[in-house]
Structures are given as structure tokens and as C-alpha cells.
Amino acid sequence: MQGLPVVILASKSPRRQELMRQMDIDFRVVLKEVDESYPADLTPEEVALYIAEKKAQAFDELVNDEIVLTADTIVSIDGDILGKPENSAHAVQMLQQLSGKVHRVITGVCIVHQGRINKFFDVSEVFFRKLTDAEIRSYVERYQPLDKAGAYGIQEWVGVTGIERINGSYTNVVGLPTEKVYQQLKRLVK
């Protein structure tokens, strides 16, 4: 994007990095360890924003004209929040919970520029067909989705073969609501 300083992307997600490249945004990845725990009384939307803001606060020492972009994606179903699975058995359990149902994918985003914090979220509804236990186990063994909220990647086998439809942004389910991010970053170059 013309006129935009290089963005610091605080994410090791190769999917978020690819989405930034597809938006033609110059960025560099800077990682900081952040405790991703959150208060139990928050709604799923508040959790995604809370963690995204915690990640941004780790960059408090930045000055000048740098822009920091952080994000956190969670999956919510039947009042439960599904983060990243702890192990393969937990991933199987999560996918069994999602199978044949509708869930929500919520990505909280925080953009910090010149001391100002702009935070927002996006929500997509994802409709999964009924998956067999054999399909779930095979997917978990083959793709090891331990780094993904809800234990799946929409761009991988289970997403390609198991998702019937989406209401909302596809890229939000991938991990970054690009249309909203792009519009917010565009405002910084005016």
C-alpha cells in the first residue's frame, strides 16, 4: 500500500503473513511471548479483542511512525470457546464437537500507530457437514492442526471437504479479516 510505513506483524502464522502479502502491504514479523489467558466472564468477541490487545501491549516500547498489527482468532460453539488444541486427542475432540454443526470464527485485531490503539473484530459463521470419526482422525494425523483455533484450517483438507458454507469473510476464518484490516490501514495514509 503506497505511503504506508512498514507494518510490524506480530504473528508467526504463515496464513496471516500470506494474506498480508496478498494485500500488497510491506511488513516484517516481530514476535513476542504473550500470555494468552483471559478472564472467564468475557464473551467470545471480547476474548478475541482482549488477547489481540495483550499482544499489542507487548510492543509498548515502539516509537516513531511504526505500525503494529496483532490478531487473535478463536472458534465459538454452543457457548464454548475453542482455542488451539493441547494435543492430537484434544484436536479430535474439538472436531467432533464442530462436526455437523454451525460455529462462529471470531478474529480480534489491534492496530497501534502513534500511541493510538484501533481494535475491532470480525465474525464468520461456518457450517460443517457431519464428519466421520475416521475422517477426523485421519485429518488430525496428517495435518497436525495443533496451531489452529478449533483444530482446523479452512484451506486444508477438512475445510475443503467438510465446510458446506460460510456466512461472512473467508479470510477471517483463515485468521485475518483482510477487508477490514485493509480499510483501517488505508485510513493511516490519508
Q: Would you please indicate which residues are annotated as catalytic (active-site) residues?
A: 72
Residue in the block written with cell 460455529: 103
Cell numbers describing residue 42: 468475557
- The DSSP code sequence of 80-97 is EEE-S-SSHHHHHHHHHH
Residue from 157, 133, 134 nearest 145 by CA: 157
Dist. CA 75–CA 93, nearest whole Å: 14
Dist. CA 166–CA 146, nearest whole Å: 22
Q: Do β-strands 80-82 and 67-77 pair in parallel, antiparallel, or remain unpaired?
A: antiparallel
Residue in the block written with cell 493511516: 188
Cell numbers describing residue 69: 498489527
Dist. CA 25–CA 2, nearest whole Å: 9
